[in-house]
Chain A
Amino acid sequence: MNRSSIATHLILICGALFMTLPVWVAFATSTHAPETILREGLQIWPGGHFLETYNEVLFVEGGVMKKVTATTMLKNSLILGIGFAVGKVVISMLAAYAIVYFRFRLAVPLFWIIFMTLLLPLEVRIIPSYKVVADMGMLDTHAGLIIPLIASATGTFFFRQFFRSVPDELLEAARLDGATSWGFFIDILVPLSKTMIAAILIIMFVVGWNQYLWPLIMTTKEENYTLVIGIKQIYQVLNEGGELPQFQKAFALTILATLPPVLVVLIFQNWFVKGLVESEK
């Protein structure tokens, strides 16, 4: 190995450490007793309290919050992540199909309405959005949490782009074969989009799981917290309580909130990267 390639590896190793060490330290520290953490600070090697900490966080009521366990929050996060991903794929595929494969009078104005969502991120319409959901009685419901998030344009644009790249002749052949518009969609287009659908599902699961601002203002009851917003509340509780600060639990929760999306990204890495890079074209 020559000198420049040693330097290259050195830079990459530093980069990899920079990206991974904080999370590893968070994990290692979460497996120590609170006394150890207070006395010695952050830990680089795992300690002996793994089962104890995670058991208490996941299954014991009052272990982290008054009423709910991390298992409940994990469940809420999963519902949000999966509901968001599936909902987004379904409605954006349908809309993209209509826009690409049909000639209809309002196609252009409707396309612009979908486009406009790019100009209106949640942050610029947050209070009126909250009011709409509140007026519809959808606060603290899964529907109220998920539905307002799934309508944005990114998924529609992605599928529109993909559908346009499908050869025209497939539709023509299908029409000669007597396929109805719904038949062509279900028999040909959806199976053809399999890998694209998988890629978008993965990305959107991560995006949905990681939602913060909307769940934060939408959910008022502890039992509806997702992990991502739950951890912040816990952190406050831990700091304000009179007892020994339970830092190991706070770290354990950050690990729990991180693990599922990270696993999804690692397992489906190739699809994920493809979907991410393609979707921005």
Chain B
Amino acid sequence: MKRVQYEHSPIPYLFVAPQIIIIVIFFLWPAAQAVYQSFLLEDAFGLSSQFVWFRNYSDTILSGAWLQAAWFTMIFSFLVTFLSLGLALLLAVKANEVIQGASTYKTLLMWAYAIAPPVAGLMGNLMFNPLIGDLYGFMNAVGFDFDHKLDPVDAGFVVVLISVWKQVSVNFIFFLSGLQGIPKSVQEAALMDCKSSFRRFWTITFPLLAPTTFFLMVINITYAFFETFGIIDTTTQGAPGGATTTLVFKVFQDGFRGADIGGSSAQSVVLMLLVLALTVIQFRFIEKKVHY
């Protein structure tokens, strides 16, 4: 809070008005609509609708397809978060150690941030294309009976690989800046207290990176839930048999392709609750960080 502020006047309302108006029209109203529609059942032509309480919820969420998508989303999010964080941490620690070529490595490792997920997806898809894709050939040549169009595990592998590839750069940037934020004196003190660099990392560096790591976990889970839509839509499209359908992709599929407005809205509301939970966790943590 500023010590001195400008006093009551219509001016601040003018300043916030553009943002508030856009939010009300394009955020709050549609979100309210989604909640409202999640309680309605429309007939096939969209002409009449009926208030059905929680039937959309019970119908969609208890359906096998939704549960399959929820299960896949969980495994997928875990793998993407764990692998991309692990890889990025390893690279950031190493990039923080080198002196020669440090800025070149940094640039090469972070630039992929600028690539859109669907573009990454499309690139990956071409690499795994059975006609020309060397990765497809390679996987089969080393003995896997690889076919991501038919095999759910292989399809999952492709989606996870591309998603991890796309996310490493963001994590790398944050880890590197976190590492550079550790005071040099602390590192020098650790150097005098502990001989093993491996032990030094796990007992000093990693605990000091905990705030960054936690923050990135939330970011990565959000990414795996929402932003990977573009990757899935340009690679497997949820196939084979819904094995790589995430919850977000299913909302889109049911709502736009399947025109099941009520069911899709009910799924949206469940997703809102998930985002709420993630946000609460994040803020709890930030509050705690203040007390450090």
Residues in A lying within 8 Å of B, measured CB to CB: 4-5, 8-9, 11-12, 15-16, 18-20, 22-23, 25-26, 29, 37-38, 41-42, 90-92, 94-95, 97-107, 110, 113-114, 116-121, 123-129, 131-133, 147-148, 150-152, 156, 164, 168, 171-172, 175, 181-182, 206, 209-210, 212-213, 216-217, 228-229, 231-232, 235, 245, 247, 250-251, 254, 257-258, 261-262, 264-266, 269, 273, 276-277, 280
Contact = CB atoms under 8 A, between A and B. Distances in A.
B107 A103 contact: no
B131 A19 contact: no
B109 A102 contact: no
Contacts of B129: 247
Given A213-B229, A250-B126, A265-B111, A38 B131 contact: yes
27 contacts: A11-B90, A11-B94, A12-B95, A12-B98, A19-B109, A20-B112, A41-B132, A91-B19, A94-B15, A103-B7, A106-B13, A113-B23, A119-B275, A125-B30, A131-B30, A132-B29, A168-B4, A171-B2, A210-B119, A216-B233, A228-B118, A231-B118, A232-B122, A235-B122, A254-B119, A261-B116, A269-B107
A101 B2 contact: yes
Contact of B108 (A9, A19, A164): A19
A196 B124 CA distance: 35
B272 interface: yes
A147 B26 contact: yes
B16 A42 contact: no
Q: Which of B26, B111, B129 has the most CB of A within 10 A?
A: B26
B140 interface: no
Interface in B269-284: 269, 271-272, 275-276, 279
CB-CB nearest 7 A-B residue pairs: A128-B33, A210-B116, A128-B30, A98-B15, A151-B22, A102-B12, A98-B12
A206 B170 CA distance: 13
Contacts of B113: 206, 265, 276
B122 A19 contact: no
Interface residue range, chain B: 35 or more
Given A117-B23, A124-B271, A128-B29, 20 more contacts: A12-B91, A12-B94, A15-B109, A19-B165, A42-B127, A98-B11, A99-B12, A110-B16, A113-B23, A124-B251, A125-B34, A151-B27, A164-B2, A171-B4, A182-B11, A210-B115, A250-B126, A254-B126, A276-B174, A277-B173
Nearest to B24: A113
B contact face: mostly helix, strand, loop, or mixed: helix
A232 B233 contact: yes
A134 to B, nearest CB: 12
Interface stretch (B50-58, B142-150, B201-209, B260-268): B260-268
B173 A116 contact: no
Contact of A104 (B13, B108, B219, B275): B13
Q: Which of B119, B269, B276 has the most CB of A within 10 A?
A: B119
A266 B122 CA distance: 22
Q: Which of A38, A151, A250 has the most CB of B within 10 A?
A: A151
B3 A11 contact: no
A95 B19 CA distance: 7
A25 B133 CA distance: 11
B6 interface: yes
Contacts of B13: 98, 104, 106
Given A103-B8, A232-B122, A245-B131, A217 B26 contact: no
Nearest to B276: A119
Interface in B151-199: 165, 168-170, 173-174, 177, 197
B126 to A, nearest CB: 6
